[in-house]
Chain A
Amino acid sequence: MSGGVDSSTVAAMLAQPAGGADAAQVSVVGLTLQLWDQTRLAGRHGIPDAPKAGRCCSLDDVYDARRVAEHLGIPYYVVKQEERFEQDVVRPFVAEYLAGRTPIPCSLCNNHLKFDQLLKTARSIGADSIATGHYAVNEYDAERDFGRGRWILKRPADLAKDQTYFLFGLTQEQLAHTLFPLGRLTKPEVREIARQHGLALSEKPDSQEICFIPGGDYKQFLTAYMEEQGEQIPETAGELVDSGGEVLGRHEGIFNFTVGQRKGLNVSSPTPLYVLQIDPASHRITVGADAELATTTLRAGRLNWISIPELTGPMRVTIKIRHRHEPAWATLEPAGEGQVQATFDEPQRAVTPGQSAVFYDGDEVVGGGWIV
């Protein structure tokens, strides 16, 4: 329970199911993962002294979650996992940026905290499953894999809220012990259910930013975090070049850039320039025109398969290469060394190392991996 509308509504739906006393009784325990102390970097490098309200793990959100649990009459606990979160999410996030890639902390958090540690905690305290407020559908298909059966992950009814992109790392075991009660509802329907259950936060706005980065300024966060750790940001200043190799200027560090970025290049050009490539070895940033951002292939590693046990030959899929990306048709093939290669039917803009590529068969998540 994050203290937001979605997970609060899940708690209400399970604790007070429609149908009243006749409905199947589920015993529900509310848990909030406390992952990051929002005041920790306060006052460093322009990070505000007081955290904004409505942020994950802020005391306000724990207050809201506790209040919902009280209202529903369910036991409620705050499970503190700051150390795991820092080790498995924050440090990799920092390392990826410093290495010139663009990480997705939410997927790491899902893989390591929400569906791993939290599930373990839930089982420890005697629960069979965890239920979350993610917008996704999971169901068991006994016919799959030649009748051996598999758990399937599908896009939700509310495609605008689709969170399957961040859930591609779920294992069969995790899917088997997870409920996504919001998967077949739209956000307005969820707010309506929250109102029907008398939840005071039914109008609370959605959270959008990365939960541990106040104000969303990741460079400010990197600087403040490295300073707190007493570590130096590695020297990665270098040249800005065009795709022909001509030097256009210099930059102060590769962590300042992400593929597709236009702002902050400090190069004058008659036409807009975009970051095409970041070379962590030479510290060279290649820039060019928007059209040059388009590529037709990508490779992904550290794969996880959901609807199939493994990719053994070419497969037609649609691929999402970032959260707000319309899935694009491609042919997927095994590429050895635990990687796959995808060839898009149409060139795609800004394939970004560090992001994930999630493969879909219609509404189903076939699997996914991290773009290399």
Chain B
Amino acid sequence: MRRVYADANATTPLLSEVMEAMRPYWMERFGNASSIHLDGQQAHGGVDRARETMAEFFNCHAAEVVFNSGGTEGDNTAVFGLLRPGDHFITTSIEHSAILQPARRMVERGVETTFVDPQPSGLIDPADIQRALRPETRLISVMLANNETGVLQPVEKIGKIARLAGAFFHIDAVQGAGKVPCDVKRFGCHLLSISAHKMHGPKGVGAMFVRRGTPLEPLLLGGSHERRQRAGTENVPGIVGLAKAAQLAMGSLEDGTIDRLAALRDRLEAGLLQIPGTGLNGAGDAENAVRRVANTTNIWFDQVEGEAMVIALDLKGIAVSGGSACHSGATEPSHVLMAMGLDKSRARASLRFSLLKTATDDDVDYVLKVVPEAVEHLRAISPVTAGTAG
């Protein structure tokens, strides 16, 4: 059966160039990058070249790149590594759990935290960040792009606010990296976290930009790796793969791949919105149009249970995500969509389509053929008569 993978914001496959770049570092150049001998030096060389690529990717100095295990670690490091009891922390209610859960832990430890809500469009208004500032605000953390709606946040403006307020600024760029340029100088951030597997790199590896002089406490202790910012033997093949993926992503931003992807997404979105009883989450209106990453669209389907729709589409060969997520065993409607003001049933009736940059016109045609049929079928299912003995 034909399969269309439209869940790129969950993860992406390796590109073959990435696989090839990593290949020598599993068996031939297997050394420990901390070792003195030739084997160690070969591994060290791979990490150094990767660091240079990432410095180009972030528009920073190579010494400001710290390799880690991915976005969750980067987010945790920013929160736990800068905040102390008595500090004030500003973040948003639409962040990933990798920010929200550490933030709640810090609240328990005496860090006052403000969770700024988005506009109904999914956009964080910089003025709301400005209003949340206090003299003791030490850290502001805002995502570059939202994972569910794809809405790009005004990080440059927030960077200016942070600078004027003397606060540190962290950007969770996991969903934005590879889809828009990650220029830390333009963003004006002190910290920025990315993950390799969201941009066709391997899972379990990521990187963090840490501006020189930022007093970030490491999360992991146990060695002098990564300039004492992150202990643990370097995941050399992973780091090499991350850098290759980043290099290819920079190419995609310049060679028209991302523009082509945006056009595909727009065609998909327009086609889906032709189904009666649908609407776009994270759109804004004519006056306040929001910018989004090129691959994501989030749509509600009236009278459709998102969870059943995800299963039905999977059985027809289409992989997407629903508008609810499993948190500690209980299913909650998406906190992002709820924060944007959707009611529970509409949040549950929402689906996220996120295309790979390798998506084709045929993929979009197939989705546009299958989804309307599936929606019609789901809506035609009348509720089964409940037992009278109730």
Contact = CB atoms under 8 A, between A and B. Distances in A.
Interface of A: 29, 34, 37-40, 75, 77, 79-80, 82-83, 107-108, 110-112, 115-116, 119-121, 123-126, 168-171, 173-174, 177, 302-304, 356, 368-370
Nearest to B326: A80
B381 A370 contact: no
A79 B328 CA distance: 15
Contacts of B386: 111-112, 116, 171
A121 B378 CA distance: 9
A120 B389 contact: no
B385 A302 contact: no
Contact of B384 (A40, A107, A119): A119
A167 B324 CA distance: 31
A126 B389 contact: no
A171 B388 contact: yes
19 contacts: A29-B315, A34-B331, A40-B330, A79-B307, A80-B307, A80-B331, A82-B330, A112-B386, A124-B308, A124-B378, A124-B381, A125-B312, A126-B377, A169-B388, A169-B390, A170-B387, A177-B384, A302-B389, A303-B388
A20 to B, nearest CB: 23
Q: Which 9 A-B pairs have the closest CB atoms?
A: A169-B387, A37-B329, A169-B389, A80-B331, A124-B308, A111-B387, A304-B389, A125-B312, A125-B311
Given A115-B384, A121-B308, 10 more contacts: A29-B315, A34-B329, A79-B307, A79-B311, A123-B384, A124-B377, A125-B311, A169-B389, A169-B390, A368-B389
A303 B387 CA distance: 9
A75 B381 contact: no
A370 B389 contact: yes
B383 to A, nearest CB: 6
A174 B387 contact: yes
A125 B311 CA distance: 6
Contacts of B388: 169, 171, 302-304
Nearest to B316: A126
B305 interface: yes
A82 to B, nearest CB: 5
A112 B390 contact: yes
Contact of B390 (A79, A80, A108): A108
B388 to A, nearest CB: 5
B308 A125 contact: yes
B312 to A, nearest CB: 4
Contact of A120 (B326, B381, B387): B381
Contact of B312 (A80, A115, A124, A369): A124
Given A37-B329, A119-B384, A356 B389 contact: yes
A112 B385 CA distance: 10
B48 interface: no
Contacts of B377: 124, 126
A111 B315 contact: no
Contacts of B311: 29, 77, 79, 121, 124-125
B346 to A, nearest CB: 16
B27 to A, nearest CB: 30
Nearest to B312: A125
A80 B309 CA distance: 13
A105 B384 CA distance: 20
B276 to A, nearest CB: 18
Contacts of A115: 384, 387
A329 to B, nearest CB: 23
B39 interface: no
Nearest to B308: A124
B226 interface: no
A168 B389 contact: yes
B390 A82 contact: no
Given A75-B315, A123-B381, A125-B308, A37 B390 contact: no
Most B CB contacts (10 A, CB to CB) among A124, A174, A370 go to A124
Interface in B185-218: none
A369 B389 contact: yes
Interface in B352-390: 377-378, 381, 383-390
B314 interface: yes
Interface in B294-316: 305, 307-309, 311-312, 314-315
Contacts of B312: 124-126
Contacts of A108: 390
Given A124-B305, A124-B381, A125-B312, A39 B329 contact: yes
Nearest to B379: A124
B330 A107 contact: no
A171 B315 contact: no
Interface in B110-161: none
B127 to A, nearest CB: 36
Contacts of A173: 384-385
A44 to B, nearest CB: 16
Interface in B315-336: 315, 324, 326, 328-331
B389 A111 contact: yes
A255 to B, nearest CB: 21
A174 B61 CA distance: 66
B370 to A, nearest CB: 12
Contacts of B329: 34, 37-40, 82
Residue among B381, B383, B385, B387 with max Cβ neighbours from chain A (10 Å): B387
A368 B388 CA distance: 10
A34 B307 CA distance: 13
A75 B314 contact: yes
A140 to B, nearest CB: 18
A40 B378 CA distance: 32
Nearest to A124: B308
A124 B307 CA distance: 10
